[in-house]
Structure 1
């Protein structure tokens, strides 16, 4: 059976009584590790964290055809090891790893999710969404982009420049999530303009508003170098 890729976006969680609704859903569906991490966050980041974890768990439960509360979070951080509250996401089900790759990104209240059901051995996944407004600061190109990436932005200005930066940053974040290192790897050292395994996600596939930049990385785990 071929691996199945699913991409889904979730709009900002803004309904009357949202904090209470989020808290109730979190207590019912999330596990102790996730709830413990949420308790250490300020109210705004806490709500975003809970909304993202709930959306991811519900997608995983839907694909696996089980109740969300049956899943046990099993994140894997290359530095901290299995059992970390952060890192590459995953779940166990009835004591065994769930046959599912997952990746999550948040920007401006939106959640972008990607999943691969029944992945082939060695396959890895990363997804990212960026609001171009986040790339509007002096020095972005120098700290975030390689030479070829900076060259690709020449001639752009205003909104076009910000979207170009956001596109490259989304591709970079998606790839680093696939690798499992995140921003522990200096982002300017990772060229993503033409790297195999990365592609942009257009709005009709991501379900995001048109102003966002989004990218998906799907490939076998790369070697070092």
Structure 2
């Protein structure tokens, strides 16, 4: 049986005044490395980080049908390696001391959290997901920084909101791809063309629960 991709959008928690509850839940559920990383941030950023990590852990626990407290964070970074003190990189969890059968990706934009997962993934499966706010693509240097020559050419006839939306779509596809490969922003974004990669697909905001102003994409490959 082919494993299915599951995608879920989580709305901004701070709008509901839930920051205090998030911190209390985090102390109960999250690992020491995650809590330490949040404490090193500005309060608002730390609360957002905790909300995202809580959402991801609860999402994973639901998909695996286990209590969230049975999961231990197990992140992998190409430079830092893996272990209980690594709180960044490719997300994953240990369950009973062994890797949980789950591929995960998380992205945040405009307070929203986008979660993607594949349960019981085939060996070697890689996953990346990203969500982007079109309003953040309007600065003058964006094309040279983020887009390949072909991508810039594809947007030449657009302007205004249509241009910003198209930029956000390409940036979401690019970030999803770079998360999937594990390269991240160590690779110059302008050197990666994502116009026509079959491993990437755009996510319809209506289908994920995201607001229409946000663009989202997922990349999936063996």
Flag whether TM exceeds 0.5 (same fold): yes
Give matches, 1:9-88, under 5 Å.
9-14=9-14, 17-83=17-83, 84-88=86-90
Counterpart position of 1:204: 206
1:110 pairs, out of 109, 112, 121, with 112
Query: How far 1:118 moved relative to its partner?
Result: 0.3
Contact kept, 8 Å, 1:7 with 1:205, in 2: the verdict is: no
Structure 1: runs of 5+ lacking an equivalent = 221-225
Aligned-partner Cα distance in 2 for 1:146–1:126: 20
Aligned-partner Cα distance in 2 for 1:72–1:4: 23
Counterpart position of 2:143: 141
Aligned-partner Cα distance in 1 for 2:188–2:24: 39
Counterpart position of 1:216: 218
Query: How far 1:204 moved relative to its partner?
Result: 2.7
What TM-score, normalized by structure 1, do the two folds share?
0.95
Secondary structure of the corresponding residue to residue 14 of structure 2: coil
Secondary structure of the corresponding residue to residue 129 of structure 1: strand
Aligned-partner Cα distance in 1 for 2:213–2:179: 22
Structure 2: runs of 5+ lacking an equivalent = none
1:124 pairs with 2:126: yes
Counterpart position of 2:154: 152
RMSD after superposition = 1.0
Aligned-partner Cα distance in 1 for 2:57–2:168: 27
Give a deviation string over 1:10-47, Cα, whole Å, max 9, x none: 00002554221111010111011111111111011101
Query: How far 1:75 moved relative to its partner?
Result: 0.3
Contact kept, 8 Å, 1:11 with 1:110, in 2: the verdict is: yes
Moved runs in structure 1, 4+ residues, more than 6 A? Answer: none
Number of matched pairs: 220
